[in-house]
Structure 1
Amino acid sequence: MAMGIASISKTLTNAFLLRGSRRIISSSSPSSSSRYSTASAAVLDLPPPVEPNPSPRPQEQPRSGSSWSRWLLFLPGTITFGLGTWQIFRREEKIKVLEHRQRRLALEPMKLNDPSPSEQLDALEFRRVSCKGVFDEDRSIFVGPRSRSISGVTENGFYVVTPLMPIPGDPTSVKSPILVNRGWVPRIWKERSLEASLNTTKQFPDVSAVPKTQESQRGSRWWRFWSKKPQASEVQPLSMDPVEVIGVVRGSENPSIFVPENDPSSGQWFYVDIPAIAATCGLPENDIIYVEDVHENVNPSCPYPVPKDVTALISSSVMPQDHLNYSFTWYTLSAAVTFMAFKRLKQRQTRR
């Protein structure tokens, strides 16, 4: 009987100790937990607990888009390198164009009195020509505004384009009207031209605008007796002196996207459009020649219009040196972004 009571008390004591050891193990590290669980199993004469085997670490699968992302890092460098190479080709083309203009301008002026010069329009561009005729200043067109620096002061003005008409009976004059850009004039020239056109309109009103009642009065004998003939019928054409223009054959201007469209109805011309100017002046739109005056002999008493400088014709908004600077910029940018791409790939390999 005493042996049974002693075994029961030993069992209860061991259970109490096991319960306390589990509380301590729960607040300790995993290594101590396994150690204490083994000790408690030894006290109770139980087999040690079996620890589960750690699951193997899954291997990292290679990303499907990793190869494509590497190539995309080099895309900016490839694009900028291509732009730099394109600027090199543009520079070579610009050099050839400017050399062609220089050779054409170095030739002697050609007499522009061919009966059919329109057949050679394509071959006449940037060719110096000599043309004789009379200016019809009443049909002048002002293109602008165009700025000009005078003694360090910038002044706005216009290019005046005037038709050069043939001289009847003169075999040395032009055979058909041409448009001549006579050069730069101040803004006041356009204002005076507008005032002159308004005064002419007031002085010689349109006969078709006269009311019918007045026309009926003019039909009577009494009215015809006292009335005078319209002054417009008495106006004689102005005597104009013949001029000889030495200029360069040019084509229409190609305006940028920032230049507004021409408005012939209001007399606003922002760029040279040869067919539109010819139509406004009442000249044939097709096969008309446009010449820019480059004659250096200017009348001291009237320095305007100021002809264009010949050196301005062999220049461009983007010169070959500018193309070279652009190519250097693109190549430098290409080298920079390519170096950054290599550095990025190296950091990825180091992390792995």
Structure 2
Amino acid sequence: MNINKLKSYLIFNICAIIILLSLGTWQLERLQWKNRYISQIETKISMPAIEINENNSIYLDTYKNRKVTIKGSYLYDKKITLHSKVYNKLVGKHLLVPLKTDYGYLLVNRGFITDAGLKNLNEDTEVLNITGMINFSSKKPYFIPNNNLQNNDWYYVNIKEIGEYLSLNLLNYYLIEENNLAEPFPIGSQYNIDIPNDHLQYAFTWFSLALALSVFMHLVWRKYE
């Protein structure tokens, strides 16, 4: 290898190392952001529930990840289920039921339920105080089928589609109901805040590649020094 080729090789590798170090640093910054984000969600969930009334009901859509208590009655004749859910090795579904409130129709994820639990569900329609966490429609996850309105097959929460299917003008957010220990099913509090946080692994990968390339470049330099 002549001196010009060696210089070009070294310059190329130095640029590659700088890029790898930049990617590793960026992943560490993402790690800090993700940790703060998860901490904020956990803090909001742990805060006391806000009791919804006429004064604060208009701000409900700003209470994402906050627990609220709202009064209403369930419309069990319009219940639907989300397919393919697992809880403690049990296979079942998530039960979604509209709640008629003074502020509109609010979709409620009542929690995990098995087929047997669904058959024995207590469909009480009296006015209740419901506590849960505010959330919004989710994007369709990868590898999850599209919702099929014609067959009443649901795989993720899309409030607009569910409202069209039920012929209800649903509020643009929904409630994830807190667990009611008095009933075996549904099992509430399905908050699902298990947010992937693999940025430290990604950072380690980029930094390791940068280190390996640095060592290899040093050996090449020593050989032709």
Question: What is aligned with 1:283?
Answer: 168
Q: Percent identity?
A: 22
Unaligned runs of 5+ in 2: none
Are the counterparts in 1 of residues 76 and 125 from structure 2 also a CA contact under 8 Å? no
Question: What is aligned with 1:88?
Answer: 28
Q: Is the alpha carbon distance of 1:61 and 1:76 closer, same or farther for their aligned partners in structure 2, counting shifts above 3 Å?
A: closer
- The alignment status of 1:141 with 2:80, answered yes or no, reads yes
Quick one: which amino acid aligns to residue 128 of structure 1?
Answer: K
- The alignment status of 1:263 with 2:167, answered yes or no, reads no
**CA-to-partner distance for each residue in 1:282-328, whole Å, 9 max, x for gaps?**
2225x433000114x422xx410000256x54x4232xxx4323322
Deviation at 1:89? 0.8
**CA-to-partner distance for each residue in 1:207-252, whole Å, 9 max, x for gaps?**
xxxxxxxxxxxxxxxxxxxxxxxxxxxxxxx982222210010112
Could you tell me how far apart the structure 2 residues matched to 1:122 and 1:131 are?
14
Aligned mate of 1:254, from 139, 146, 150: 139
Unaligned runs of 5+ in 1: 1-59, 167-173, 194-237
Considering fraction of residues, name the structure with more helix: 1
- The alignment status of 1:293 with 2:177, answered yes or no, reads yes
Are the counterparts in 2 of residues 165 and 177 from structure 1 also a CA contact under 8 Å? yes
- The alignment status of 1:175 with 2:81, answered yes or no, reads no
Q: Structure 2 matches for 1:169-318, cutoff 5 A?
A: 174-188=102-116, 240-284=125-169, 287-295=171-179, 297-299=180-182, 302-308=183-189, 312-313=192-193, 315-318=194-197
Equivalences, count:
223
Aligned mate of 1:130, from 50, 69, 76: 69
Question: What is aligned with 1:340?
Answer: 216
Quick one: which amino acid aligns to residue 88 of structure 1?
Answer: L
Deviation at 1:165? 1.0
User: 3-state SS of the aligned residue for 2:150?
Assistant: helix
Deviation at 1:66? 5.0
Q: Is the alpha carbon distance of 1:130 and 1:62 closer, same or farther for their aligned partners in structure 2, counting shifts above 3 Å?
A: closer
TM-score for the superposition, normalised by structure 1: 0.56
User: 3-state SS of the aligned residue for 2:91?
Assistant: strand
Could you tell me how far apart the structure 2 residues matched to 1:102 and 1:283 are?
32
